[in-house]
Structure 1
Amino acid sequence: MNSLTKVLEHRDFIVISKPSGLNFHSEDGELGVVERARQQFECELWPVHRLDKLTSGLLILATNKAAAAHFQELFSQGLINKYYLALASAKPKKKQGLVKGDMQKGRNGSWLLARSQDNPAITQFFSYSLAPQRRLFLLKPHTGRTHQLRVAMKSVGAPILGDKRYSGEDFLRGCLHAYALDFDWQGEQIQLASAAELFECEGLSEQLTVLSEPWQVSFPKLKG
């Protein structure tokens, strides 16, 4: 069992880097990332958000029940800014913008983006050309729906590499990475970006120098 990387240790939580291909929960006799973290770091931990098996990157685990409850409140109020990186082979319909719509269940565990706006999933993005047939996306979700970013990428005509469920091309792994977090924790500003476990691509390291602090990227203000 490979060791997990601890990116940040705080009195109330830790942030670890989850590898792509590792389940969130234990399943079919294989330990999930939360239980692995409990065993490796020898402490009780409470998950406060989740990442898909396909997704790598930053994952917050609370170290006490009070912190877990406070995180749930912050997430429900949209006060934790999350930034993801994704890699696609296709050029999107637009280089930057907003994806907004209700999520509907499709077949076999997949989800669909609807035109209705009753309780929409909301994602902003910028995209950057890296190499021939390789484009990097910086994604900022404002909601936390299941498969939200994967569906958003497909909806703009640029499914994530390795995400076969949503029409992505075959690749060594799923190219979606939880890259950065930005939030206020009881008066302490937490800003963290990590490329540990990130997919590899020509031109990526150069682009990351520009995106080293994604919370500084000027996303347009949402209306309403």
Structure 2
Amino acid sequence: MINPVGDILLNNNNYFTTVYENSEFVVINKHAGINFHSEDGEFGVVVAAEKFFSCKLYSVHRLDKMTSGLLLLAKSSQIAALLSALFFEHQVQKYYLAISDKKPKKKQGLIKGGMEKSRRSMWKLTKQSNNLAITQFFSYPLDSGKRLFVVKPHTGKTHQIRVALKSIGSAICGDPLYGEKSGHYDRGYLHAYQIDFSLNKQDFSFKALPESGLLFNSDVYLKTVQDIGEVNDLAWPKI
């Protein structure tokens, strides 16, 4: 299994840090506040990565602007098709870290419901099964009334984790759409922490901590993440 967690990262720029590169794909640690697509004359993270790696890159999943963390980009349409199939078949395991300043209705479990468009580019969770979103989570106490969430989305819907945590009363700190006091925080506190998959009979696992955010760099947060250990080994709620 490839797991370069302890390796020296390859570069730093305003958009991302490189975590891993081979002949088939790259894995980058996207910075918070960076658009996925180019907008308003400013490069998105995919274009920035293409310029850095000097090759065409193909996206197979995406991250919201406020969300930092691991992003997988294919180097060919053939590899992109293989990776997209893995995502479609739920063969890619993704784990996120989030911080909320609201106590959840339940400390761990499964959040399941239909995703429906709401107002101001927002989404909401319904009791219907249309556009079904399934999210597993654990939460842990931090200090000052905050909680750390370790989240595993089974599906990949727009704003899924943000809406799921909002639905249990724990909107993510700094979330400009779903948070109540987003301006009180220096960033949106959602981070794509780990991604695991198999490609061409080789197992890959990548992990990267957030690189920005006062809460993400606090001692209590870092100790809690360390104490949790391997997130893929947690007793995840059954779907």
Sort the TM-score into its range (normalised by shorter chain).
Answer: over 0.9
| C-alpha distance in structure 1 between counterparts of 2:90 and 2:138, whole Å | 20
Q: Which amino acid aligns with 1:90?
A: K
Equivalent residue for 1:197, pick from 207, 211, 214: 211
Structure 1 match to 2:199: 185
- Decide whether aligned partners of structure 1 residues 113 and 26 sit closer, same or farther in structure 2, where only a CA change above 3 A counts: same
Q: Which amino acid aligns with 1:11?
A: S
Offset from partner CA, 1:55-90 (integer Å, 9 cap, x none): 000000001111000011001111100000000001
Contact map agreement 2:26 2:72 (CA 8 A) in 1: yes
Structure 2, unpaired ranges of 5+: 1-12
Matched, 1:127 2:139: yes
Structure 1 match to 2:162: 150
Contact map agreement 1:102 1:114 (CA 8 A) in 2: yes
Structure 1 match to 2:80: 68
Offset, 1:131: 0.7
Offset from partner CA, 1:15-47 (integer Å, 9 cap, x none): 001011000000000100000001112111111
| C-alpha distance in structure 2 between counterparts of 1:156 and 1:196, whole Å | 24
Q: How does 1:73-88 map to 2 (within 5 A)?
A: 73-88=85-100
Equivalent residue for 2:70, pick from 58, 81, 85: 58
Equivalent residue for 2:237, pick from 216, 220, 223: 220
Q: Which amino acid aligns with 2:41?
A: G
| Greater shift in the superposed pair: 13-22 or 199-208 | 199-208
How many matched pairs? 222
- Decide whether aligned partners of structure 1 residues 185 and 138 sit closer, same or farther in structure 2, where only a CA change above 3 A counts: same
| C-alpha distance in structure 1 between counterparts of 2:54 and 2:187, whole Å | 29
Contact map agreement 2:116 2:131 (CA 8 A) in 1: no
Structure 1 match to 2:22: 10
Aligned residues: percent identity?
A: 47
Offset, 1:212: 4.1
| C-alpha distance in structure 1 between counterparts of 2:22 and 2:180, whole Å | 37
- Decide whether aligned partners of structure 1 residues 131 and 73 sit closer, same or farther in structure 2, where only a CA change above 3 A counts: same
Q: Alignment RMSD, CA only?
A: 1.4
| C-alpha distance in structure 1 between counterparts of 2:190 and 2:32, whole Å | 8
Equivalent residue for 1:165, pick from 165, 177, 180: 177
Q: Which amino acid aligns with 1:180?
A: Q
| Greater shift in the superposed pair: 123-132 or 188-197 | 188-197
Offset, 1:182: 1.2
- TM (norm. structure 2) is 0.89
| C-alpha distance in structure 2 between counterparts of 1:183 and 1:135, whole Å | 28
Offset from partner CA, 1:120-155 (integer Å, 9 cap, x none): 100000000011221100000000000000000100
Q: SS of the residue aligned with 1:6?
A: strand
Q: How does 1:18-33 map to 2 (within 5 A)?
A: 18-33=30-45
Q: SS of the residue aligned with 1:69?
A: helix
Offset from partner CA, 1:76-125 (integer Å, 9 cap, x none): 11110000000000110000011100000001210010011244100000
Question: Structure 1: which 4+ aligned runs deviate by more than 4 Å?
Answer: none
Structure 2 match to 1:37: 49
| C-alpha distance in structure 1 between counterparts of 2:156 and 2:104, whole Å | 22
Contact map agreement 1:102 1:120 (CA 8 A) in 2: yes
Equivalent residue for 2:125, pick from 107, 110, 113: 113
- TM (norm. structure 1) is 0.95
Structure 1, unpaired ranges of 5+: none
Contact map agreement 1:18 1:197 (CA 8 A) in 2: no
- Decide whether aligned partners of structure 1 residues 8 and 213 sit closer, same or farther in structure 2, where only a CA change above 3 A counts: farther
